[in-house]
Amino acid sequence: MQALHHQLADLASYPVSALVIEAEYRDFQDLTRLKGRWPATHLARVLGELSALHPRLPVIYAGNRKAANTWTHQFFLSLASRLKAPSPQLVLETVARYDAGPRPEGIDEQVRRVVLHEIPSPFTAGELAERFPDVGNARIRRVLGQLQDEGRIGRTGVGRGTRWEVKR
């Protein structure tokens, strides 16, 4: 569950996002569909958590794959048309209300912030991993690689002895 919430927080950090589920909500309460794999009360709690813990991430219960594909296609078409044509003022005001306010910071952004502003330089990937015990080492290495590619940090050494330093 924790990994799922990290992924959803990451998804919600994008300017426009949605979670499309290829099932009806009632399918998660149908005991014949669940076949004893999970208690229906557990799934109801999990689905409630999705909306409660990620309020800026719309959750769409599409019913099946075909409906999910259709919804997703229309979603991206709407985004493309929004980018192409200016919106009327009334629409702009409505969209501004939804876009107002801070968006939750994703995991990658949290790691970047810690690397660039909080952890003393030089540091090891292990020291960074201690600050993010629920984040996988591959993800931490990916963020460090991105920062290195951007020229914001440099490294010395190889393997476990690698030390990272912020370029000022």
Determine the CATH number of domain 107-166.
1.10.10.10
Of 105, 130, 128, which is closest to residue 115 (Cα–Cα)? 128
Q: What is the pLDDT of residues 48-103, one digit of tens each?
A: 988 888 888 899 999 999 999 999 999 999 888 877 776 566 666 666 666 666 66
Residue 144 has a pLDDT of 92
Q: Where in the chain is the domain with CATH 1.10.10.10?
A: 107-166
- 90 vs 144, residue with greater confidence: 144
Question: Cα–chain-centroid distance for residue 120?
Answer: 27
Whether the Cβ atoms of residue 164 and residue 123 lie closer than 8 Å to each other: yes
Of 3-7, 8-12, 102-106, 112-116, the poorest mean pLDDT is in 102-106
Q: How confident is the model at residue 35 (pLDDT cuts 50, 70, 90)?
A: confident
The residue whose two tokens read 């920062």 is: 147
Mean pLDDT in residue range 155-165: 88
Whether the Cβ atoms of residue 92 and residue 50 lie closer than 8 Å to each other: no
Q: What is the spatial distance between Cα 12 and Cα 19, in angstroms, rounded to a whole number?
A: 9
Q: What is the spatial distance between Cα 79 and Cα 76, in angstroms, rounded to a whole number?
A: 5
Residue 6 has a pLDDT of 87
Helix, strand, coil in percent for the chain, rounding step 5: 60, 10, 30
The mean of the pLDDT values for the chain is: 86
Q: What's the distance, Cα to Cα, between the start and end of the chain in Å?
A: 38
Q: What is the spatial distance between Cα 7 and Cα 14, in angstroms, rounded to a whole number?
A: 12
The pair of three-digit structure tokens given for residue 19, joined into one six-digit string:
């979670």
